[in-house]
């Protein structure tokens, strides 16, 4: 990570998060924003990673997350918050968050989660991962375990579940990026999901996290993954 944005309204917490980022990524340049308005202005500069608080004095940090997703699809967006309720978690993941970290965690746990982002592993607090699993146990789609995914769709799910971006999946499978986007759109529809964090969870559930893939190539329409 070369450029990191921290959107957090509490000055002391901002300094603490900056210290964590510098410990996790010593070569990174860190920018800070204390409000929604400042966060929206800051994203124009371009970032590899953004740590975003949900409760900002002038609005929700989700607006920063969504704006960053639209303007810089390759940027990683991780929510850093004290809010661990289901509604906040689902809203963040549905908006495209690559992680959800509770600020109450020990520093060593947070550092490990941040460093794992470089390996394509979603940054999820253990408590949040458990809540997500429980949520899907209770409310997940009642479809068959593989949701009738084709062999190629399972291939694509395995790769995005390992943290690969659309361009990387396309290169790995020898497909056009638009074709990969079509497969991702189909996978999201069949599994009833809307974020990469959910895709990663389903890839693990289906035993695809180890990268065991196979199938035939095909086409599809573009989708933002």
The range of the structural domain enclosing residue 109 comes to: 3-138
Kindly state whether residue 225 falls inside one of the protein's structural domains: no
Task: Check whether residue 103 and residue 131 sit in a common domain.
Answer: yes
The predicted-structure confidence for 132-158, as pLDDT tens digits, reads as follows 777 666 555 544 555 689 999 999 998
Query: In whole angstroms, what is the distance from residue 150 CA to residue 156 CA?
Result: 10
Structure tokens at 65: 């997350």
Query: In whole angstroms, what is the distance from residue 123 CA to residue 68 CA?
Result: 18
Task: Check whether residue 56 and residue 165 sit in a common domain.
Answer: no
| Gyration radius (Cα) of the chain, Å | 17
Kindly state whether residue 20 falls inside one of the protein's structural domains: yes
Query: In whole angstroms, what is the distance from residue 182 CA to residue 157 CA?
Result: 12
Please tell me the total count of domains within the chain.
2
> Among 12-26, 50-64, 133-147, which is the least confidently predicted range?
133-147
- The CATH number that applies at residue 200 is 1.10.10.10
Task: Check whether residue 132 and residue 161 sit in a common domain.
Answer: no
Kindly state whether residue 74 falls inside one of the protein's structural domains: yes
Query: In whole angstroms, what is the distance from residue 157 CA to residue 184 CA?
Result: 7
Predicted model pTM: 0.61
Domain termination residue (choose one: 78, 113, 138): 138
- The CATH number that applies at residue 134 is 3.40.50.2300
Task: Check whether residue 120 and residue 153 sit in a common domain.
Answer: no
Residue 208 confidence (pLDDT): 80
Query: In whole angstroms, what is the distance from residue 195 CA to residue 202 CA?
Result: 11
Task: Check whether residue 95 and residue 68 sit in a common domain.
Answer: yes
Task: Check whether residue 71 and residue 155 sit in a common domain.
Answer: no
């Amino acid at each position: 990570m070369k450029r990191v944005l921290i959107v957090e309204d509490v000055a002391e917490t901002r300094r603490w998060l900056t210290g964590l980022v510098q410990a996790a990524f010593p070569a990174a340049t860190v920018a800070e924003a204390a409000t929604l308005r400042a966060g929206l202005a800051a994203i124009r500069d371009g970032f590899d990673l953004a740590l975003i608080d949900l409760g900002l004095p002038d609005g929700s940090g989700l607006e920063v997350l969504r704006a960053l997703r639209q303007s810089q699809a390759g940027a990683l967006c991780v929510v850093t918050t004290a809010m661990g309720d289901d509604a906040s978690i689902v809203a963040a993941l549905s908006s495209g968050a690559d992680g959800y970290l509770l600020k109450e965690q020990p520093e060593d746990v947070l550092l490990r989660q941040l460093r794992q982002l470089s390996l394509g592993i979603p940054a999820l607090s253990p408590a949040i991962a458990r809540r997500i699993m429980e949520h899907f146990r209770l409310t997940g789609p009642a479809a068959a375990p593989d949701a009738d995914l084709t062999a190629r769709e399972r291939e694509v799910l395995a790769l995005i579940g390992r943290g690969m971006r659309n361009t990387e999946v396309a290169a790995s499978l020898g497909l056009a990026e638009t074709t990969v986007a079509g497969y991702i759109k189909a996978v999201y529809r069949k599994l009833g999901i809307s974020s990469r964090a959910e895709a990663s969870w389903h890839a693990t559930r289906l035993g695809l996290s180890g990268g065991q893939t196979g199938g035939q190539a095909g086409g599809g329409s573009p989708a933002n993954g």
